[in-house]
């Protein structure tokens, strides 16, 4: 395996998606064909290495050192995973690290089997750890949803962040890969879907010892996701103890006086706060409210019921109209 000129695994899609955007798209290099099936060359090299180590240990009296790959696997097996349980089963969206070009990540997954392999490894592990995993490929209308939310919430919104909310995610996990000399490097990031705040990162560096790229991807991603999930699980469980989270963006579009706008603001920030487990104000100006709301899932089954509280609380003072509601994102107008 040799270093790709783009520094990113590629199926030569750089001209279409851009060098960095082709996150985790891999290709075999013609100048470096895969090892033969019989593995004779690798076996010969291992035999010479073992003989040298045995000879050295006989002279020094020290036990031969374990091989790097074996040591890495042993260290991986020793990782103690968190045993914290979830009060509410969290939902995760897994996607290539595409930045704001969320729509392009679907093409990466569909066109490249190794990118899909990486995503499947992550999805399988998270499913075994009691998460609900949203399959990016199964979101047939994700492009439209992302664009719709972007148009409503503003062009400066991170589309990956909005996409996570659109499909009801509690957490977004993105992955990327690159080749550095004879090593494969995997980078994972976990962020809150509601705020886009980074929760944790994990990087895994694995040497190419003649294995197929697919096997290398599987091994590196398996180790990385295990460590990443262990970092975020306790914190995520703590957040879910507060209740199911919804993001609410409200715009005052009516012709209100300053006194009326202030009254509406007080109702939203004081009276409505008492209806939910917790309400966190991200920002609140005269005409725009950006809120995080934590609700009791036994009392509020979905976003529509949360929206209904705004309609009821402001009844007689203002009309509340929904611009768009998805599983975790509520965008409304106060007229």
- Give 270's DSSP letter: I
Which secondary structure element, helix H or strand E, spans residue 279, and what is its range? strand 278-284
Cα–Cα distance measured from residue 193 to residue 209, given in angstroms and rounded to the nearest whole number:
37
What is the set of domains in the chain, with CATH numbers? 14-36+69-240 (3.30.160), 244-334 (3.30.70)
pLDDT (mean) for 303-330: 90
- State the CB neighbour count (10 A cutoff) for residue 134: 22
Contact between residue 159 and residue 150 where contact means Cβ atoms under 8 Å apart: yes
Contact between residue 93 and residue 173 where contact means Cβ atoms under 8 Å apart: yes
pLDDT (mean) for 301-315: 93
pLDDT at 110 (0 to 100): 74
Q: In 3-state terms, what secondary structure has residue 71? A: helix
Cα–Cα distance measured from residue 219 to residue 224, given in angstroms and rounded to the nearest whole number:
9
Q: What is the pLDDT of residues 67-99, one digit of tens each?
A: 444 454 545 556 678 888 888 889 998 888 765
Q: In 3-state terms, what secondary structure has residue 198? A: strand
| 61 token code pair | 């009296």
Q: What is the pLDDT of residues 263-297, one digit of tens each?
A: 999 999 888 889 999 999 988 999 999 999 999 98
Query: Which residues are paired to 89 by β-bridges?
Result: none
- In 193-255, at which residue ranges do the beta strands (DSSP E only) sit? 198-207, 244-252
Q: What is the pLDDT of residues 9-42, one digit of tens each?
A: 433 222 222 222 333 333 333 233 333 344 444 4
The residue that leads in pLDDT, 123 or 44, is 123
Record the pTM.
0.67
**Picking from 71-80, 126-135, 302-311, which range would have the lowest pLDDT averaged per residue?**
71-80
Please provide the average confidence, as pLDDT, over all residues in the chain. Answer: 74
Which secondary structure element, helix H or strand E, spans residue 217, and what is its range? helix 213-240
DSSP for 16-30, written as a single string: HH-TTTSTT-----T
| pLDDT band (50, 70, 90) for residue 137 | low
- Does the pLDDT at position 162 exceed 60? yes
């Amino acid at each position: 395996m040799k270093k790709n000129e783009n520094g990113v695994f590629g199926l030569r899609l750089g001209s279409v998606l851009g060098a960095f955007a082709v996150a985790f798209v891999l290709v075999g290099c013609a100048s470096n064909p895969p090892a033969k099936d019989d593995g004779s060359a690798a076996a010969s090299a291992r035999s010479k290495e073992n003989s040298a180590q045995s000879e050295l240990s006989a002279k020094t009296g020290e036990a031969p050192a374990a091989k790097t790959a074996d040591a890495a696997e042993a260290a991986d097996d020793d990782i103690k995973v968190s045993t914290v349980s979830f009060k509410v089963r969290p939902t995760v969206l897994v996607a290539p690290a595409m930045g704001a070009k969320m729509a392009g990540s679907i093409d990466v997954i569909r066109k490249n089997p190794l990118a899909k392999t990486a995503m499947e490894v992550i999805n399988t592990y998270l499913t075994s750890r009691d998460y609900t995993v949203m399959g990016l490929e199964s979101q047939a209308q994700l492009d439209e949803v992302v664009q719709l939310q972007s148009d409503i919430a503003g062009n400066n919104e991170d589309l990956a962040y909005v996409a996570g909310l659109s499909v009801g995610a509690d957490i977004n996990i993105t992955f990327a890969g690159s080749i550095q000399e004879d090593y494969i490097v995997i980078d994972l990031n976990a962020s809150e879907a509601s705020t886009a705040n980074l929760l944790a990162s994990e990087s895994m560096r694995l040497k190419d010892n003649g294995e197929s790229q697919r096997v290398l991807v599987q091994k590196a991603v398996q180790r990385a996701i295990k460590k990443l999930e262990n970092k975020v699980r306790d914190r995520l469980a703590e957040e879910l103890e507060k209740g199911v989270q919804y993001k609410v963006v409200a715009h005052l579009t009516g012709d209100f006086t300053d006194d009326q706008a202030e009254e509406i603001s007080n109702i939203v920030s004081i009276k409505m706060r008492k209806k939910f487990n917790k309400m966190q104000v991200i920002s609140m100006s005269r005409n725009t409210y950006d809120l995080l709301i934590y609700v009791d899932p036994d009392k509020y089954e979905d976003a529509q019921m949360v929206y209904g509280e705004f309609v009821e609380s402001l009844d007689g003072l203002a009309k509340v109209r929904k611009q768009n509601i998805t599983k975790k994102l509520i965008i409304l107008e106060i007229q």
